[in-house]
Amino acid sequence: MARRPATPAARRTSRRHIDKRRCRWARATDPDYIRYHDEEWGRPVHEDRRLFEMLTLEGAQAGLSWSTILRKRAGYRRAFANFDPRKVARFDARRRAQLRRDAGIVRNRLKIDATVSNAQAFLAVQREFGSFDRYLWSFVCGKPLVNRPRGALPAYTPLSDVGVVNDHSRECFRCPPRGPSRRARGAARLK
């Protein structure tokens, strides 16, 4: 299959950060992949629609490469009502059948059904907590955890995508500055 040309934004990003050191997983030559790392991954997200988008895309990615999903992102946006969970939650059997014929997305019945179920659960969380953002970020008191990568775990990866956990490697230009060590923090408390 022919490779899609990079988007104008991806080309600008790749030129702007061409000599920057990145996390090992983002050293690919695919400009969309690099743009995702440089401009999105690990950055805190607080918009519910964007959080639903990442939940949807991560679900679609299971068993596939992330670059495959990034290339289909516009198709997902169109197919899943611009990631509006209220609309997606109402997708009926006929609409789901149409999606299984849409080449712009991964046409897996279970993944499509899961997206609709996830939209319904997403709305239930919004009703209970006021927003999905409030619910998600409550687990880290509203501040990103700065971690060091130890290997991807399925439930952990979406947290890195939306910045709840920042896993940029130490050599990456997007790595946040390190705070004081545990030992230094402990010594400061003793004073």
Q: Which positions are annotated as active-site residues?
A: 36, 58, 66
Residue appearing with tokens 């169109």: 78
Q: Check the CA dihedral 176-182-184-186 and report its sign.
A: positive
| CA distance linking residue 47 with residue 67, whole number of Å | 23
| CA distance linking residue 124 with residue 88, whole number of Å | 13
Residue appearing with tokens 């979406």: 158
| CA distance linking residue 157 with residue 187, whole number of Å | 33
φ, ψ at 166 (rounded to 5°): -105, 110
∠ CA(131), CA(47), CA(57), 5° rounding? Answer: 105
